[in-house]
Amino acid sequence: MPELPEVETVVRTLEKQIKDEEILDVIIRYPKTINGDLEDFRHALIHQSFRRFERRGKYLLFYMDDVLLVCHLRMEGKFYIKTDSEPVEKHTHVIFQLKDHRQLRYHDTRKFGRMEILPMDTDLEHFHDLGPEPFDDRYNAEYLKEYCRGRKAPIKSVLLEQSLVAGIGNIYADEILSASGIRPGRSCARLTRKNREDIVENTRIILAAAIAAGGTTIRSYTSSLGVTGRFQNECLVHGQKTCARCGSAIKVKWIGGRSSYYCPVCQKS
């Protein structure tokens, strides 16, 4: 699943390629991709232009002239930019016909991705109960302590909760805990202040590095817009057989239904 760095990469790349381009038509080939009435969705976007590109957690935000287009890629969603003469692939579910004879095509093998139209002034601070962004000052050691108060859940599961902090997924949660020397199954109730400070600091360091590297191509994610993620070359534990630091065999544990990679030597706490 694309996580924050991958979504940020898509947003930045689309901004370079289609900023100020006008939509002449919207072709919906899989209706369930759209939240709400299909014709309302189409008419809200026709003759609108892409003006501003932002991200909230794992959501892509396209600010048009008068409306906000929100998209979540979920498991397999990807955007392609093609000319309108190129053949349309099987799993292309939404096509935005642009004025310059190009098409922005949404492709989704698993069909889990969703799009919706919202008012321009939508309050995104608490959108879908999302927590603060990882680079927001509100995300700090004291905030993490309060969030975990009265809970005993594994810290790996807690980091994946989008209500804690927006945008962290399985890959980066493993890397954050690896850099912090904390095992994924450790109860969040047993974290020390130093643990919490390390988690917050390493969240920012690792996500910033991943954004700079264009995300990761681990599993099925590759940028369909000509940007190949390189962060997989820097992963210490996720998807690895041996620890990049000490050479010990990486262990994999299932926590909350997700695979969790960790080094039993480097992650002792």
Confidence of residue 207 (pLDDT cuts 50, 70, 90): very high
- Whole-number Å distance between alpha carbons of 194 and 200: 10
Distance (Å, rounded) from C-alpha 209 to C-alpha 262? 20
List the structure tokens of 132: 């603060």
pLDDT tens track for 116-161? 999 999 999 989 999 999 999 999 999 999 999 999 999 999 999 9
Q: What is the pLDDT of residues 8-20, one digit of tens each?
A: 988 998 999 999 9
Q: What is the mean pLDDT of residues 241-259?
A: 95
Q: What pLDDT shows up at residue 198?
A: 98
According to CATH, the superfamily of the domain at 4-124 is: MutM-like, N-terminal (3.20.190.10)
Q: Does pLDDT of 219 surpass 60?
A: no
As a dihedral over the C-alpha atoms of residue 144, residue 148, residue 149, residue 154, rounded to 10 degrees, the angle is -140
pLDDT > 90? residue 234: no
Which amino acid, residue 99? K
Q: Judging by DSSP bridges, how do beta strands 114-119 and 67-72 pair with one another?
A: antiparallel
Q: Is the pTM of this model over 0.85?
A: yes
Q: What is the pLDDT of residue 224?
A: 57
| Residue-range domain boundaries for the chain | 4-124, 141-262
Residues forming beta bridges with residue 107, ordered by sequence position: 78, 92
Tokens 């600010």 correspond to: 63
Same CATH fold, 141-262 and 4-124? Answer: no
Q: How does DSSP classify residue 136?
A: S
CATH class held by domain 141-262: mainly alpha
Q: Where residue 212 falls among pLDDT bands split at 50, 70, 90?
A: confident
Is residue 108 within 8 Å of residue 91, measured between CB atoms? yes
Q: How many CB atoms lie within 10 A of CB 29?
A: 14
**pLDDT surpassing 90 at residue 89:** yes
Q: Could you give the residue numbers annotated as active site?
A: 2-3, 58, 258
182: left (phi > 0), else alpha (psi -120 to 50), else beta?
Answer: beta
Tokens of 130: 């999302």
Instruction: Give the pair of three-digit tokens for residue 62.
Output: 């396209």
> What local confidence, expressed as pLDDT, does residue 238 receive?
92
